[in-house]
Amino acid sequence: MFENRLTPLQRLRKRSPNVYSILISVALILYLRGLLGIMDLFIFPGDKFLSYSVSIVLGLLFLFLNDFKLKEIEKPN
């Protein structure tokens, strides 16, 4: 009965995928901006260079532990 009902985001995704992609991109940018702001407050707040360096190292460590498997974000052929 409720299987044919789509949420507004699902309808937008179906009708105009480009607008949906832009909306999702903006949401991700806002999320990352907030996350970086919180990280600036808590990871070495007095030393920006050290804070950025630790963030880069943590990001690279995460990629290394994930075996550099970025195939999930590549577009399939």
Question: 49-65: buried (b, 16+ CB within 10 Å) or exposed (e) per residue?
Answer: eebeeeeeeeeeeeeee
pTM of the model: 0.57
Contact 12, 19 (CB under 8 A): yes
Per-residue pLDDT of the chain (77 residues; tens, 9 = 90+): 556 687 887 888 888 888 888 988 999 899 988 888 888 888 888 888 888 888 888 878 887 777 666 666 666 65
User: Counting every residue, how long is the chain?
Assistant: 77
Residue carrying the six token digits 């179906």: 14
Structure tokens at 40: 């600036």
